[in-house]
Amino acid sequence: MVYNYILVSAVISWAAAQIIKTILWVIQNKSFNGERLLGSGGMPSSHTSFVSASAIAVMRKTGADSVEFAIMFIIAAVVIYDAMGVRYAAGLHAREINKMNKYLIDFSTSSDNKIKLEGGNKKELKEFLGHTPFEVLGGVLLGILVALIVPLK
């Protein structure tokens, strides 16, 4: 039987993060949102959990002084930076654009205004894209924990 400790650690960590994220959503919002099972954003960061588990698993398997660990550490750093920086900022932009679109739609449909909006797109942009530092920290800790619990074999 084939057993890839690194891949198993990463996938379990990602799945655990998605399940935790969904449970926290249900507790916080008193409703189930299936998108939370596969979607990005929220607590804990599944991207961060995935790469953190991968990095720790590679370190356990090949050593902290290995080329493999160095490469995985660099990849993890890039993913974590992206989750907190670029994707988080994109989510904030999406939230503001959604507010502006709602305002414009409400404004154009009021009886006093005769403005015609081109396109008429009422679809909202996705706001759950990135993570706060706290959500990333949750993902890092979850990834480390999973990689340490999963048997190295």
Q: Both 139 and 108 in a single domain? A: no
What is the span of the domain harbouring residue 109?
86-129
Q: Both 56 and 119 in a single domain? A: no
Q: Both 26 and 70 in a single domain? A: yes
Q: Both 140 and 69 in a single domain? A: yes
Residue 120 has pLDDT above 60, yes or no: no
Q: Quick one: pLDDT at residue 108?
A: 62
What are the distances in angstroms from CA 44 to CA 1, 20, 39, 81, 101?
32, 7, 12, 15, 30
Exposed/middle/buried for residue 25 (C-beta within 10 Å: 0-12, 13-18, 19+): buried
Q: Both 30 and 93 in a single domain? A: no
Residue 142: pLDDT band with limits 50, 70, 90:
very high
Q: Both 51 and 113 in a single domain? A: no
Write down the residue that tokens 């909202």 correspond to. Answer: 124
Q: Both 71 and 112 in a single domain? A: no
Residue 117 has pLDDT above 60, yes or no: no
Query: How is 92-128 classified by DSSP, letter by letter?
Result: HHHHHHHHHHHHHHHHHHSTT--PPPSS---PPPP--
Q: How many domains does the chain have?
A: 2
Q: Quick one: pLDDT at residue 52?
A: 97
Q: Both 115 and 138 in a single domain? A: no
* Residue 139, both tokens: 């993902």
Q: Both 21 and 68 in a single domain? A: yes
Q: Quick one: pLDDT at residue 130?
A: 65
Lowest mean pLDDT among 67-81, 105-119, 127-141: 105-119
pTM of the model: 0.71
Tens digit of each residue's pLDDT (9 = 90 or more) over 1-50? 889 999 999 999 999 999 999 998 889 888 887 777 777 777 898 889 99
